[in-house]
A and B are shown apart, each in its own frame.
Chain A
């Protein structure tokens, strides 16, 4: 069960590799062609149009989009706070839109949710806020609830604040209470609606670490929405990009971040880059008077740290001049993405692509 965040680095590692063994996360969510609308001034305004997604057990699935894209609406369909007009939401094969009231209530008790503005009950202490979802089930005795509340307080490192009221807590502490409350009934799924948007960067980091830790240790499936690509980058395994109620792109985070297809995705990736590129690299090089082929190389995983360029340069008798690039990590995956000018007499680009491919380095010719 739950233990404090400080101990157990070892079991955390193991859980990361075998989430299925924690006995949790036997859960697959299939969102099938859902649409919803809101009524504004008597007119129906579509909020989601034919959205389909699949969330796998144990993963952190991110949904990103600009304000008003429908992110909150989408995440709220997963516990039917918003009911889709059309389509189905299958959780382990069961269509939750067809559940009777009681069944929906017990499904919701097993689905935690945290909110941008925390939504804690101001009249209850920290401990009583966490106790509330336990009381709702009517399944626990007092001693059991006390024990569970203590465990959860320990998990989110708030034991010292148990008798305070939310108004006496910082934003980060409030969100920790929100997380403890969401985890109280041992959920199978955790929904996060902009969980860190109201927090400063440092607090954001600590909350994100906590979520990642929970995901790994409990094998808990998390669906989170955000408008910040950095949150996706540091936390998510897969991502969907939402634009005006439509999913315009989805896939593994490394894939979507390194090879964004849709214009909106590119813009969001650019925005979060350390040094936003001003325009197209090929144009910039032309302005600089750089001639010869330009290729973009993407390294993913361990290969990032290997001297691949050096080896290939020697083998093919070419030279590489790095003109742009970045090396970093996406969640746990090291990656590098660099643009190089290929130097040498008439280099054979097709061969070059093949050789890079053999080293598992993706090579795209930007200019021959």
Chain B
């Protein structure tokens, strides 16, 4: 390696980067947890109320679907800004790691719920029919048949959502969200330290790659096709 190159990277504050990486991991982890917590039931309700399903209900499905589409069609940067007052009301601040989590969850939940709905839609109707024929109640069908049957698909959906959250989390740096995105903006963009930008992107890539590999492993482990 050329000395220039080393000098370039020597100027990077590695402790800042380590801190920012930790923050990003926390933001992604926490928001993923809440996204799944809210998005899974929402996805199940979307599925069950959709046409020709067990709880088919056009008005409820229509309203939920509209809300989901509303959030999904709003660019995340806009959502971040629009949601600032909501975040402040919820947790008292709109900046830092905690301030980033509500918009991340609100942004990702409809996305994840729609993925869940689609995964459930892939289940062979025959399996639902067989469960009904066995005298299963609706919760028994959902928890005993649908969710086990779709576990690999759900894990894939969680993986995609986690990766989306990595990029959302980085974007939340725009409104002072903390983490790698924040670092990239403060040093890489505002102070023209492009090497910080490079390192940040490399770490994000590594993170995404790791999530994808982990997700794929889990999917493979739980699929019995």
Q: Do A and B come from one complex?
A: yes
Q: Which residues of A contact B (CB under 8 A)?
A: 79, 81, 104-109, 111, 113, 115, 117-124, 132-133, 135-137, 165-168, 181, 185, 191
The 10 closest A-B pairs by CB, nearest first: A108-B135, A109-B135, A119-B126, A165-B224, A119-B130, A105-B135, A113-B133, A123-B148, A133-B134, A123-B149
Q: Is B64 an interface residue (CB 8 A)?
A: no
Q: Which of A107, A109, A115 contacts B130 (CB 8 A)?
A: A115
**Is A122 a contact of B134 with CB atoms below 8 Å?**
no
Q: Which of B137, B149, B222 contacts A105 (CB 8 A)?
A: B137
A319–B6 Cα distance when bound, in Å, is 115
Q: Is B132 an interface residue (CB 8 A)?
A: yes
Q: Which of A79, A136, A181, A191 contacts B136 (CB 8 A)?
A: A136
**Is B224 a contact of A136 with CB atoms below 8 Å?**
no
Majority-rule SS of B interface residues: helix
Chain A residue at minimal CB-CB distance from B127: A119
Residues from chain A with a CB closer than 8 A to the CB of B130 are 113, 115, 119-120
Q: Is B57 an interface residue (CB 8 A)?
A: no
Q: How far is the CB of A88 from chain B (nearest CB, A)?
A: 20
Contacts A106-B135, A136-B137 known; list 15 others, CB within 8 Å. A104-B135, A109-B134, A109-B135, A118-B126, A121-B127, A121-B145, A121-B148, A122-B149, A123-B224, A132-B131, A135-B144, A165-B224, A167-B224, A167-B225, A181-B134
A144–B225 Cα distance when bound, in Å, is 30
Q: Is B124 an interface residue (CB 8 A)?
A: yes
Q: Is B151 an interface residue (CB 8 A)?
A: yes
Q: Is B129 an interface residue (CB 8 A)?
A: yes
Residues from chain A with a CB closer than 8 A to the CB of B151 are 123
Q: Is B140 an interface residue (CB 8 A)?
A: yes
**Is A136 a contact of B225 with CB atoms below 8 Å?**
no
For this complex, into which size category does the number of interface residues on chain B fall? Answer: 20 to 34
Most buried by A among B127, B151, B222: B127
Residues from chain A with a CB closer than 8 A to the CB of B133 are 79, 81, 108, 111, 113, 191
A108–B132 Cα distance when bound, in Å, is 8
Q: How far is the CB of B53 from chain A (nearest CB, A)?
A: 14
How many contacts between A and B, using CB within 8 angstroms?
68
Residues from chain A with a CB closer than 8 A to the CB of B145 are 121, 132
**Is B135 a contact of A119 with CB atoms below 8 Å?**
no
Chain A residue at minimal CB-CB distance from B133: A113
A136–B136 Cα distance when bound, in Å, is 6
Residues from chain B with a CB closer than 8 A to the CB of A137 are 135
A33–B75 Cα distance when bound, in Å, is 58
Q: Which of B129, B144, B148, B225 contacts A119 (CB 8 A)?
A: B129
Chain A residue at minimal CB-CB distance from B130: A119
Q: 15 A-B Cβ contacts within 8 A? A: A81-B129, A81-B133, A105-B137, A108-B132, A119-B127, A119-B129, A121-B148, A122-B224, A123-B149, A123-B151, A133-B134, A133-B135, A165-B224, A167-B224, A191-B133
Chain B residue at minimal CB-CB distance from A184: B134
**Is A108 a contact of B134 with CB atoms below 8 Å?**
yes
A132–B135 Cα distance when bound, in Å, is 11
Q: Which of A104, A117, A132 contacts B134 (CB 8 A)?
A: A132
Chain A residue at minimal CB-CB distance from B147: A123
Scan B194-225; emit 1 where CB is below 8 A from any A CB, else 0: 00000000000000000000000000001011
Residues from chain A with a CB closer than 8 A to the CB of B134 are 108-109, 113, 132-133, 136, 181, 185
A279–B44 Cα distance when bound, in Å, is 59
Chain A residue at minimal CB-CB distance from B151: A123
Q: How far is the CB of B225 from chain A (nearest CB, A)?
A: 5
Residues from chain B with a CB closer than 8 A to the CB of A122 are 149, 224-225
Known: A109-B135, A132-B144, A136-B134. A121 touches B149 (CB 8 A): yes
Q: How far is the CB of A75 from chain B (nearest CB, A)?
A: 10
A120–B137 Cα distance when bound, in Å, is 17
Residues from chain B with a CB closer than 8 A to the CB of A124 are 148
Q: How far is the CB of A267 from chain B (nearest CB, A)?
A: 30
Q: How far is the CB of A96 from chain B (nearest CB, A)?
A: 12
Q: How far is the CB of B54 from chain A (nearest CB, A)?
A: 12
Residues from chain A with a CB closer than 8 A to the CB of B131 are 132
Scan B14-32; emit 1 where CB is below 8 A from any A CB, else 0: 0000000000000000000
A107–B133 Cα distance when bound, in Å, is 10
Q: Which of B132, B136, B222, B224 contacts A81 (CB 8 A)?
A: B132
Q: How far is the CB of B148 from chain A (nearest CB, A)?
A: 4
Residues from chain B with a CB closer than 8 A to the CB of A120 are 127, 130
Tell me which residues from 130 to 189 in chain B have a Cβ below 8 Å from any Cβ of chain A.
130-137, 140, 144-145, 148-149, 151
**Is B126 a contact of A117 with CB atoms below 8 Å?**
yes
